[in-house]
Amino acid sequence: MDDFLFSDEPNDVVEPDSNGVWKVIVVDDEPEVHAVTKLALSDFEFQKKRLEFISAYSGEEARKVIQAHPDAAIVLLDVVMETDDAGLQVAKFIRETAKNNHIRIILRTGQPGQAPERQVIVNYDINDYKSKTELTAQKLFTVVMSSLRSYRDILAIEQSRQGLEKIICASRDIFSTHSLDHFIKGVVQQLTSLLGTVDEAIYATSLVASNDSTHNADQLVVFTGRGEFESCEGKPITEVLTQEQLQACSTALQEKSIVYKDNYLFAYCTSEFNHSSMLFVSGIPDFLTDTQKHLIEIFSQNVQLAYENVQLQAEVEDTQQELVYRLSEALEQRSTETGNHVKRVAHICFALAEGYGLSRRDAELVRMASPLHDVGKVGIPDAILNKPDKLEEQEWQVMQTHAEKGYEILKDSRREIVNAGAIIAKDHHEKWDGSGYPAGKQGESIHIYGRIVALADVYDALRHKRCYKPAWELEQVVAEINSQKGKHFDPKLVDVFNSIIDDLEAILVKYPDKPSN
């Protein structure tokens, strides 16, 4: 018979299967209502998923079940149970306390007069309202089907929202990358966030225009890699990928699309600069949703833009660094010092800064700005600058002005490197005990950049020949710097110096003085 509410069939529960289930919470104080509801929907299936029924027999029990199953799709909710409005209070709890806006609420009542439909619809966030006497098996089937479709669509919207948020975060993170070395690491991290798992990755690129009909996989060269591909930089992808992978790569290039194969993918990347690039990622999940595939499509284009952004940033910084080096080397040539002093000091500063605990960005900034430490010597006469003998008191006073002169030349710049150079120029002759110049600063009132360059400059100067002295042996230099711990130099910085002395000596070997003519 059509009105299933009077059926007396047994209480069958559909077991979950491998395709997953739709959870339906049945809340009613009459056990037979639970039984006939399950019977009427026993063969229900939507998107190859069956129903899993969860029972509650009071408003209080319903609250616990709702909190225990936040992923439930539907609640079939009786209005009148232990109180006349128990079901309404559960509906209010679901939306306001549990903050569950996804679950579809279908109110059922055997006493519709006690809770008028219009009033309930207006005052409570429910999705349907049915009298038990009108809710036949067919109508129950229809209302459950429509509610599941709504629930499915709500989940899709929520997944899209979360995916968009992830894309925004991922794009922000890769666009904030300033180092080409960190680029692929950032890409893999963000893909892991989007997909849940990623094993290995390659970013291969070519300067050939993407609209070149002769463009093929052989022209792509590995720019950077992760996992087993970390050591493949500069190699053609034909040397690092299998034949099957190369075929998938060629397909992605020809179709300018994303190709999914087994547990890996190739994503074609391009931008307004018309550079063809390919992102290869392995270890992806076996099943990707349409939403995830859409996110990968968006992300692959952002990757190309981010790559070019990092390239441009690196080019700007390399240009700045080269200009700084050339200016500093020009000053060295004016004195009797021979080249590479500024390069050595720069790399020594970076090592000391990292050992001291500065961020990588600050360490890079000290490295890039340190060559400007003696820029003020441009205002010092040659006779004083290159005097082989000890300077007279008046000459020494003139020499000391180079710190302030350097600061005046570099100050008030809108460029981060130049501003750091101004700080270094002014503070690198200050001493920890306050006996330095130009301001007699003491301890931590001396900027850390200045403290680092002070030690690096002295170490390199002592280890190399100058017009006024021969090069010192390592043991002499280490003894001298340690004797100045807490006097000339920051004590903590001296400890760092001692701990990385082998690394510092390697820098001296890598950048030796150029032979004089």
Contact 144, 44 (CB under 8 A): yes
The shares of helix, strand and coil residues in the chain, as percent rounded to the nearest 5, are 55, 15, 30
Annotated catalytic residue, options 23, 38, 377, 431: 377
**Rounded distance between C-alpha atoms, residue 278 and residue 267, angstroms:** 6
Known active-site residue 492: no
Number of CB atoms found within 10 A of residue 148's CB:
20
Length of the chain, in residues? 517
* 416-427 and 448-462 helices, crossing angle to 10°: 70
Contact 4, 41 (CB under 8 A): no
- Omega prior to 438 cis, within 30 of 0: yes
Residue at token pair 């069939």: 9
**Rounded distance between C-alpha atoms, residue 372 and residue 374, angstroms:** 6
SS (H, E, C) 232-272: CCCCEHHHCCCHHHHHHHHHHHHHCCEEEECCEEEEEECCC
Phi-psi region of 152 (alpha: psi -120 to 50; beta: other; left: phi over 0): alpha
Beta bridge partners of 52: 23
Exposed/middle/buried for residue 298 (C-beta within 10 Å: 0-12, 13-18, 19+): middle
Task: List, by residue number, the catalytic residues.
Answer: 377
